[in-house]
Amino acid sequence: MQCQPLHEDQFKRIIADNYHTYNHFWFELDHAQTSKLISLFASLAIAPSIPQCIIQRRKLSQPLSTEETRGEWEKMKHFTSKAEKLEHSSGRSDSADPYLSVEVDDQLFEGCASMKRDGGDEEDSIIMKLKELALSQEYCDLDMNHCSGGGSSTEGIKSEENSFVEAPVGPEEKKLRDSHSSGDLEEKKLQDIYSSSDYRLTIAQLVQELGELKDFKLEQTQKMIKLEQKLDWAENEICYLRDHCNLLDSLLKSSSHSSVPEEIQSSEELDLDLKDSIVIVGGYDGSSWLSAVYSYFPSHNVVKSLKPMNCIRAYASVAKFKEELFVFGGGDGESWHDTVESYNSAENKWTVQPSLNAKKGSLAGAVSMGKIFALGGGNGQDCFSDVEMLDFDIGKWICTRSMLQKRFALAAVELNGVIYATGGYDGNNYLNSAERFDPREHCWTKIGSLTTKRGCHSLVSLNEQLYALGGFDGNSMVASVEVYDPRLDCWMVGEPMNCARGYSAAAVLNESIYVIGGVKDDEGVVDIVECYKEGQSWHKTIVRDIGQRCFLSAIVL
């Protein structure tokens, strides 16, 4: 059948559902679309299809021209080769973006839906018409072969007639199936293209979101820096006001018997030397775990705030090394630390130092032969006899000779280059044993035992003797004091304190022993400072600037 060519406006409504862009469509027709297209072509037919073709063949004693042959083939290809139609469609993509989404008139889709519903009843007639079109194409092919081979017109007619009569149905259906498979392959390629386009779009969106996230992070970082600066300023201001108020309170009490008011000075205005103070580090005040650091000046009964540590520390140990304060281990009420930091008083600055080999608290510390030693301690599950030494030459803590016993909540001090460790808890019992370590001998030696079991006590050296102060004996907190003379290798009972306490801190300043804070059996955390000088009794002082404090550390710089 020879028909007039169709403009896109004429067939667009029939295959509207096949458009994937405004100008591109997939040429994969269903039965309804095929029926509609055939009907549309039939309405524009020039002459009857099969008779016209046969009449023309019987006149084919003259060869077909190249133009006529190509025209007939192009008409058939429109119906039988979907793959070539797709290639023809994609060939126009140079002028249109295949990824551009264009809105299609809703009426086109409605028309398409109605045509699909009507097409189910015409399936058999459509198949027969497609077979006729395919057979007509075979006749055209045979005519072209006859003309090119130079045979007679009679032989050409015979060959064509035999081909027409004997042409099997199977090969034609196979051609249609092959055309359909080729179309599926092309459709899959187009889907892959669109899929890759989706990936590119997703990647572009992710890159944009990542940039926005970086901008947001930078903005938040800048805000955090400003907030930290404001927080530092507020902390300094609070410390200054606290010092001023406490000093005002203490001076008002001391001048209550004088009729002439004295000029009140804050700790900032007083001429204070840090070497005349006891540095108090961390601890617990009954409600909060602390990172605060104070210097207590007994001669003025004044407390001055120093820069707080980098983290909260209680149950920690301290040591003085080359005019710097080292704080190591401890905990924050929830976990134990292995971190170490040092304080430079000249710069009022904390510096992170190499960490311990294990997390631990309630340990002891001492300095001997230019090395810092961390002794014993525990982690809430195990008690340690381990001893670690900070070697500044290699910049790390190394394990050295362990103590003879496990000791948690022990007390230790250095005297004449020798380190003494006393008391503590071994996981089962509180101890009254004591031992000494001489780095020159590199071994621990047992010494005379305490008369009382002690843990969480304090140990200081004064006038070539050791003083064991307070602590817990396994039943209650004690106020007793024991004095050890290394030359006699024995402990003697000393002057007891006024307040039974443990988990306090002690230091020696100007030939006097100061015991600060701690825990009592019946009163909880205490705020009392007791002072002892050889040949005198203990006397109590209340330093309101310090307040209640326990699990703290103290040292003189």
- Structure-derived torsion over alpha carbons of residues 78, 82, 84, 86, reported in degrees to the nearest 10: 110
Alpha carbon 145 to chain centroid, angstroms: 76
Q: So what's the pLDDT on residue 268?
A: 56
The pLDDT mean for the chain works out to 77
Percent of the residues in the chain that have a pLDDT greater than 90, as a whole number = 44
CA distance 31 to 7: 21
Q: So what's the pLDDT on residue 110?
A: 41
Q: What single-letter DSSP state applies at residue 22?
A: S
Q: So what's the pLDDT on residue 234?
A: 82
Contact between 450 and 491 under an 8 Å Cβ cutoff? The reply is yes
Mean pLDDT is lowest, of 126-130, 138-142, 510-514, for 138-142
Q: What is the mean pLDDT of residues 455-476?
A: 96
Contact between 317 and 328 under an 8 Å Cβ cutoff? The reply is yes
CA distance 243 to 235: 12
Q: What single-letter DSSP state applies at residue 472?
A: B
Q: So what's the pLDDT on residue 517?
A: 93
The residues, ordered by sequence, that sit 6+ positions from 8 with a Cβ below 8 Å of its Cβ are: none
Contact between 192 and 96 under an 8 Å Cβ cutoff? The reply is no
Contact between 191 and 183 under an 8 Å Cβ cutoff? The reply is no
Q: So what's the pLDDT on residue 54?
A: 40
pLDDT band for 263, please (50, 70, 90 cuts): very low
Q: Is the pLDDT of residue 189 over 90?
A: no
> Which CATH code is given to the segment(s) 265-555?
2.120.10.80
Contact between 555 and 319 under an 8 Å Cβ cutoff? The reply is yes
Q: What is the mean pLDDT of residues 367-380?
A: 95
The residues, ordered by sequence, that sit 6+ positions from 325 with a Cβ below 8 Å of its Cβ are: 279, 281, 318, 319, 342, 343, 345, 555, 557
Q: Is the pLDDT of residue 173 over 70?
A: no
Q: So what's the pLDDT on residue 243?
A: 63
Q: So what's the pLDDT on residue 196?
A: 63
Q: Assign 550 to helix, strand or coil.
A: strand
Q: So what's the pLDDT on residue 538?
A: 95
pLDDT band for 16, please (50, 70, 90 cuts): confident
Task: Considering only residues 461 and 226, tell me which one the structure prediction assigns the higher pLDDT.
Answer: 461
Q: So what's the pLDDT on residue 85?
A: 45
Q: Is the pLDDT of residue 242 over 90?
A: no
Q: What is the mean pLDDT of residues 292-319?
A: 93
Q: What is the mean pLDDT of residues 433-450?
A: 95
According to CATH, where is 2.120.10.80 located in the chain?
265-555
Q: Is the pLDDT of residue 147 over 80?
A: no
**Best-predicted range by mean pLDDT (2-11, 255-264, 381-390):** 381-390
Q: Assign 41 to helix, strand or coil.
A: helix
Q: Which amino acid is at 518?
A: G
